[in-house]
Amino acid sequence: MPHQHEHSKSNLGKALQWGALGLGSVIAAPYVLPMLGIGNMDTTQRLLGSCGSGFSGMAAAADSAIQSIPLIGPSLHAGGLTGAISAGVIGIGGLLLGRYIENHYDRPGHIPWGKVIRYASLATSLLIALPSILSSLTVGLTFLASLGGIAMASHAFGGLYRSLGLAGTNVVAAGAGFSGILPHLFTCGSAILPLGLRGWLMSKQSAAELEGSEMAGVRMQMAPMDPIVAGEPCELRFQLIDTKSGKALTPDALATLHTKKLHTMVVDASLSDYHHLHPQYDAAQQMFTCSFTPKLAQPYTAWHDLMRAETKEQIHLRNALPTNYSTSLPPTILPLRHAAAQDVQINLSATPLRVGSESILSIDASDRQGNILTDLEPVMGAYAHLVGFSQDGKHLIHCHPMGDEPDSPNARGNGKLQFHITPEVAGNTKFFLQIQHHGKEVIVPFGQHILPPAKFTDRVSMPAQTHGMAMHRG
């Protein structure tokens, strides 16, 4: 997938910013330009005088709609501070409240109330100020046309009067110079400002999506990429940044971890489509690259598993991948004692997992007839890999079986596997057991319920690594 274009959300955010700036410039033109010696202030006053009693076009229709609102319609129609403050409070307040709810309370698969509040408040503030905005655009565009002569201004005014229109009470109070522009700053600006703020927040959010989490002095920075599309190959290109020096890390700065310098694990929001990737390093671009094909129309998250050569500290970095899918299926995690995939079935121990308690998860991998496998093949330096994601997708467990690891590609392992796990968060966790059998990679998904600590006051500080296990909280 090409990555020559910025994320579409960033483009939309910039478009909103430029749109708000353009609207504001046109509305302010009849008042600001004469003060700069461009045009004539008398033209502005004549335009306002002729517009004072005019009601036409979309502005008049919007004004009539506002008047029909029960209880508050007449006050909003009258304009002034009441309408301006209402538009500003609803627009900016609703935008910030919706963003807070979206970041802290909205969950995949549920009604996105944060987004509903944001767009409803933005639409309401624009509706309240719409008569003033349309009327002011008619005046502003006519003034700009007057710079080309009276004939051009007359022709422009005729078309604008019938289309954008006028709602005279929203214009007649305006004067010239600073005294004229102030009412527009309150009325039109109270709606245009939330529009520009929404665009700026979208651009910031898009940039944040390309910047992953930070851990142990390493930050993941993605290159701009198009939103992922189900069924289409997706290439990830990113750098690992040393936060102290600001320089990109090369493979030489990473220790070999299970035969590879870097592991990237990608999973969708429903925790159904899982991919284990091995990024390659592009020295010319100073980028790590890897590709996968998403199977589902869902948001996806990438986890990057690495170890710095100088510190020998295992690091997990997480980032959301750009997507146009605003909603997703919630994870369905069923705690299981038995699971199967392809020609392999697994049976799990009954010992419950508990936060803060070191536990042994025993997994017996067998064929469909129940015979324990004795010929597990090496996969990424181990006979098996176990990766778990918490239900909210923000916590990762990555561990490998206890005991000897393969010492050659021809080594074979037993299907009786034991994993040393110290869970970090309570609740349901979706696990993926990854093995290789008869030359085929087999991934068996299953769920486990992790119990809370025996005593909530006795929380244990989680180690970064234990017996080949690493955990990270996003």
Helix spans in 4-111 (H): 8-32, 41-51, 57-67, 73-78, 80-88, 94-104
Inside any domain, residue 331: no
Return the bridge partners of 289, or none: 237, 280
Find the mean pLDDT for residues 28-41.
79
Q: How confident is the model at residue 54 (pLDDT cuts 50, 70, 90)?
A: low
Q: How confident is the model at residue 431 (pLDDT cuts 50, 70, 90)?
A: very high
Is pLDDT at 3 greater than 70 in this prediction?
A: no
Q: Quick one: 95 and 231 in the same domain?
A: no
Mean pLDDT of the chain: 77
Q: Quick one: 306 and 392 in the same domain?
A: no
Q: Quick one: 227 and 203 in the same domain?
A: no
Which of the pair, 403 or 19, is modelled with greater confidence? 403
Choose from 23-27, 101-105, 202-206, 334-338 the range with maximum mean pLDDT: 334-338
Mind listing the pLDDT tens digit for each residue in 120-140?
A: 877 777 777 777 778 778 888
Inside any domain, residue 120: yes
Q: Quick one: 272 and 255 in the same domain?
A: yes
Question: Where in the sequence is the domain holding 269, given as residue range(s)?
Answer: 212-320
pLDDT confidence of residue 24:
74
Q: Which two tokens stand for residue 100?
A: 């807070």
pLDDT confidence of residue 233:
93
Name the residue among 417, 341, 412, 342 with its Cα closest to residue 377. Answer: 412
| Separation CA 145–CA 27 (nearest Å) | 13
Q: Quick one: 108 and 178 in the same domain?
A: yes
Inside any domain, residue 1: no
Into how many domains does the chain fold? 3
Q: Quick one: 16 and 128 in the same domain?
A: yes
Inside any domain, residue 343: yes
Name the residue among 377, 381, 397 with its Cα closest to residue 439. Answer: 377
Is pLDDT at 369 greater than 80 in this prediction?
A: yes
Q: Give the phi and the psi of residue 52 in degrees, each rounded to 5.
A: -55, -40
Is pLDDT at 7 greater than 60 in this prediction?
A: no
pLDDT confidence of residue 272:
92
Mind listing the pLDDT tens digit for each residue in 261-309?
A: 999 999 998 999 999 999 999 999 899 999 999 999 888 999 998 899 8
Inside any domain, residue 227: yes
Choose from 14-23, 59-68, 225-234, 449-458 the range with maximum mean pLDDT: 225-234
Q: What is the DSSP string of 254-286?
A: B--BTTBSEEEEEEETTS--EEEE-PEEETTTT
Q: Quick one: 191 and 226 in the same domain?
A: no
Q: Specify whether the CB–CB gap between 370 and 386 falls below 8 A.
A: no
Q: Which two tokens stand for residue 164?
A: 């954008």
Inside any domain, residue 350: yes
Find the mean pLDDT for residues 307-317.
87
CA 293 vs CA 114, 118, 215, 236, 332: distances in Å: 30, 33, 28, 11, 22
pTM of the predicted model as reported, rounded to 2 decimal places: 0.55
What letter would DSSP give residue 470?
E
Is pLDDT at 45 greater than 60 in this prediction?
A: yes
Mind listing the pLDDT tens digit for each residue in 141-160?
A: 888 888 888 788 788 888 88
pLDDT confidence of residue 430:
94
Is pLDDT at 467 greater than 60 in this prediction?
A: no
Return the bridge partners of 195, or none: none
Of 209, 229, 248, the position where a domain reaches its end is 209
For residue 279, the Cα-to-chain-centroid distance in whole angstroms is: 23
Q: Quick one: 238 and 205 in the same domain?
A: no
Q: How confident is the model at residue 433 (pLDDT cuts 50, 70, 90)?
A: very high
Find the mean pLDDT for residues 256-265.
85
Find the mean pLDDT for residues 60-87.
67
Mind listing the pLDDT tens digit for each residue in 158-200?
A: 888 888 877 754 444 444 444 545 555 545 544 555 555 555 5
Q: Quick one: 181 and 123 in the same domain?
A: yes
Name the residue among 124, 136, 144 with its Cα closest to residue 183. Answer: 136
pLDDT confidence of residue 434:
93
pLDDT confidence of residue 12:
53
Name the residue among 74, 44, 39 with its Cα closest to residue 136. Answer: 44
Of 154, 174, 209, the position where a domain reaches its end is 209
User: Of 29-38, 75-84, 297-306, 429-438, where does mean pLDDT reach its minimum?
Assistant: 75-84
Is pLDDT at 412 greater than 90 in this prediction?
A: yes
pLDDT confidence of residue 72:
64
Find the mean pLDDT for residues 315-327.
82
Q: Quick one: 193 and 256 in the same domain?
A: no
Of 150, 179, 209, the position where a domain reaches its end is 209
Mind listing the pLDDT tens digit for each residue in 333-354?
A: 988 899 999 999 999 986 788 8
Q: Specify whether the CB–CB gap between 64 and 76 falls below 8 A.
A: no
Q: Quick one: 186 and 284 in the same domain?
A: no
Which of the pair, 394 or 366, is modelled with greater confidence? 366
Is pLDDT at 19 greater than 50 in this prediction?
A: yes
Q: Quick one: 173 and 288 in the same domain?
A: no
